[in-house]
């Protein structure tokens, strides 16, 4: 394999619910969930049943033919969101690629072909393809990969004046994560969300919500924008959408989707029968009575617990932020120390920007599992205190 990753020695071989087991039989409480992907933990019986049934019927035909599961999933996504059109991809970055293409194509087909530029916010993460890294402008992700800026501008997060100044007659769209993920958990404020929507409306700029990480139930709403009641024009989904099976989606309102006419975009695997079968099943689970509300309650429970730990260990932990089960814990010590300490105690957490660790557990964790995670974080804090 290319040396693009540097994983630890442990080799996961089996998953069950919120737990992961390595080849030596060590057990880990998985509060990383494949980076906010395994929305219902590992090997959920209903998802296994769905995939197994589909595997016995039909795996792949390509988009040359109609895909029944995809049509059904698209209808359901449209029914429950602002959107009128859906394009299925295989990953988050591909969903964002589709969003960029749709935004530019919309203006192009409406006689404004000069509107090509897209503005992103500092701290954003939109993927690892050429255009998604160009959008985020992180030097380590960009250096050596392209020339020029590929039509992307960026402004400081939270700076509305800078954003207003950056929107010109060449701007096609603004892209933002309603809750920043990789950059460190940062939920947008209601005012910020509204100000960006208003700016877009006033200037004919399209608003893209990259909800790849925060979307599909993670924040306690099916789609993150529902927390704000402010709809984008374009929205991307991926990570949690397939509950562990690779699938992405780009949703648009009618005017944007209408511009993506026959032949303008495509994908061989996108929305294939397996991927869309399991995404439909994930959606079934999301719609179980009271489920999304329980995500909010679980998130609050964890954040309350973390708040107590922050008061207990003020030299180790600094603060907690989050929405639903997308939780950030900002550290006073180096975040990797907390991350590695937790792993040694059998708790998997995700790293985040801004010296955070992220808690991105399965959305169906039990109270006992939440308590177990909090206890392990407390144990690591004790250890780090003793070592200091
Ligand atoms: C992970 C992520 C992506 C990229 O998804 P991939 O499936 O890795 O391509 C894009 N946007 C956001 C907000 C993400 O968190």
Q: How far is the CA of 210 from the centre of ligand 1 (A)?
A: 8
**Per-residue pLDDT reduced to its tens digit, 162-219:** 999 999 999 999 999 999 999 999 999 999 999 999 999 999 999 999 999 999 999 9
Instruction: Say which DSSP state 188 is in.
Output: P
What average pLDDT does the segment 345-373 reach?
98
At residue 325, does pLDDT exceed 90? yes
β-bridge mates for residue 327, sequence order: 322, 359
Q: How far is the CA of 127 from the centre of ligand 1 (A)?
A: 5
Three-state DSSP class for 78? helix
3 part of a folded domain: no
- Strands 326-331 and 356-359, by their bridges, are antiparallel
**Per-residue pLDDT reduced to its tens digit, 216-255:** 999 999 999 999 999 999 999 999 999 999 999 999 999 9
Q: How far is the CA of 277 from the centre of ligand 1 (A)?
A: 21
Predicted TM-score of the model (pTM): 0.98
Tokens 């639903």, residue? 324
Q: How far is the CA of 326 from the centre of ligand 1 (A)?
A: 14
- Ligand 1: atom nearest CA of 96 is 10
**Closest residue CA from atom 5 of ligand 1:** 92
40 part of a folded domain: no
Owning domain of residue 383? 12-30+291-387
CA distance 211 to 177: 6
**Closest residue CA from atom 15 of ligand 1:** 213
* Same domain? 279 vs 170: yes
What average pLDDT does the segment 39-51 reach?
98
Q: How far is the CA of 375 from the centre of ligand 1 (A)?
A: 30
Sign (positive or negative) of CA dihedral 262, 267, 270, 272: positive
Q: How far is the CA of 190 from the centre of ligand 1 (A)?
A: 23
- Ligand 1: atom nearest CA of 211 is 13
Among 286, 319, 341, identify where a domain stops.
286
357 torsion bin: left (phi>0), alpha (psi -120 to 50), beta (else): beta
**Per-residue pLDDT reduced to its tens digit, 118-128:** 999 999 999 99
β-bridge mates for residue 248, sequence order: 89
CB neighbours of 74 closer than 8 A, spacing ≥ 6? Answer: 86, 88, 271
Among 260, 286, 312, identify where a domain stops.
286
41 part of a folded domain: no
pLDDT at residue number 239: 98
Can you give the CATH number for the domain in which 220 is found? 3.40.640.10
Q: Are 330 and 322 in contact (CB under 8 A)?
A: no
At residue 374, does pLDDT exceed 90? yes
Which token pair is 271? 């929305």
pLDDT at residue number 282: 98
CA distance 384 to 386: 5
* Same domain? 148 vs 248: yes
322 part of a folded domain: yes
At residue 388, does pLDDT exceed 90? no
- Ligand 1: atom nearest CA of 182 is 15
pLDDT at residue number 233: 99
* Same domain? 149 vs 225: yes
Among 234, 251, 286, identify where a domain stops.
286
DSSP readout, 319-370? Answer: EEEEETTEEEEEESS-HHHHHHHHHHTTEE-EEETTTEEEE---TT--HHHH
Which of 92, 249, 360, when mutated, tests ligand 1's pocket best, judged by the most ligand atoms within 8 Å of its CB?
92
- Strands 234-237 and 248-252, by their bridges, are antiparallel
| Largest CA-CA distance found in the chain, in angstroms, rounded | 66
**Closest residue CA from atom 11 of ligand 1:** 126
pLDDT at residue number 263: 97
Which residue, 17, 46, 122, 98, is CA-closest to 361?
A: 17
Q: How far is the CA of 378 from the centre of ligand 1 (A)?
A: 30
- Ligand 1: atom nearest CA of 94 is 9
What average pLDDT does the segment 297-303 reach?
98
319 part of a folded domain: yes
**Closest residue CA from atom 10 of ligand 1:** 126
Please list every protein residue whose CB sits less than 6 Å from any atom of ligand 1.
91-93, 96, 125-127, 177, 181-182, 210, 212-213, 238-239
Q: How far is the CA of 235 from the centre of ligand 1 (A)?
A: 13
């Amino acid at each position: 394999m290319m040396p693009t990753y540097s994983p630890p020695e442990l080799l996961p071989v089996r998953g069950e619910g919120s737990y992961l087991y390595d080849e030596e039989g060590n057990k880990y409480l998985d509060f990383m969930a494949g980076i906010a992907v395994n929305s219902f933990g590992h090997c959920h019986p209903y998802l296994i049943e769905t995939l197994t049934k589909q595997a016995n019927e039909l795996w792949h035909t390509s988009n040359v033919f109609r895909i029944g599961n995809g049509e059904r999933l698209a209808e359901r996504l449209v029914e429950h969101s602002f959107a009128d059109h859906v394009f299925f991809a295989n990953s988050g970055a591909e969903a964002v690629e589709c969003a960029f293409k749709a935004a530019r194509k919309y203006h192009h087909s409406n006689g404004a072909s000069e509107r090509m530029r897209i503005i992103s916010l500092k701290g954003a993460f939109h993927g690892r393809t050429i255009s998604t890294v160009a959008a985020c402008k992180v030097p380590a992700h960009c250096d050596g990969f392209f020339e020029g800026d590929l039509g992307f501008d960026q402004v400081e997060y939270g700076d509305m004046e800078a954003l207003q100044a950056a929107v010109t007659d060449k701007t096609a769209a603004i892209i933002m994560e309603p809750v920043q993920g990789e950059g460190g958990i940062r939920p947008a404020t209601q005012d910020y969300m509204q100000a960006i929507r208003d700016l877009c409306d006033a200037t004919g700029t399209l608003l893209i919500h990259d909800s790849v990480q925060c979307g599909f139930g993670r924040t306690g709403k099916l789609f993150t924008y529902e927390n704000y009641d402010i709809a984008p024009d374009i929205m991307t989904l991926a990570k949690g959408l397939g509950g562990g099976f690779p699938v992405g989606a780009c949703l648009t309102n009618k005017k944007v989707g209408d511009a993506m006419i026959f032949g303008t975009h495509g994908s061989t695997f996108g929305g294939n029968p397996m991927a869309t079968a399991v995404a439909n099943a994930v959606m079934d689970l999301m719609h179980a009575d009271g489920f999304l509300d329980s995500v909010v309650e679980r998130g609050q429970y964890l954040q309350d617990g973390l708040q107590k730990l922050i008061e207990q260990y003020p030299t180790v932990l600094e603060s907690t932020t989050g929405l639903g089960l997308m939780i950030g814990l900002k550290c006073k010590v180096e975040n990797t120390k907390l991350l590695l300490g937790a792993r040694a105690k059998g708790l998997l957490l995700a790293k985040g920007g801004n010296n955070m660790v992220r808690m991105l557990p399965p959305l169906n964790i039990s109270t006992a599992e939440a308590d177990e995670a909090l206890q392990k974080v407390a144990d690591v804090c004790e250890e780090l205190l003793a070592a200091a």
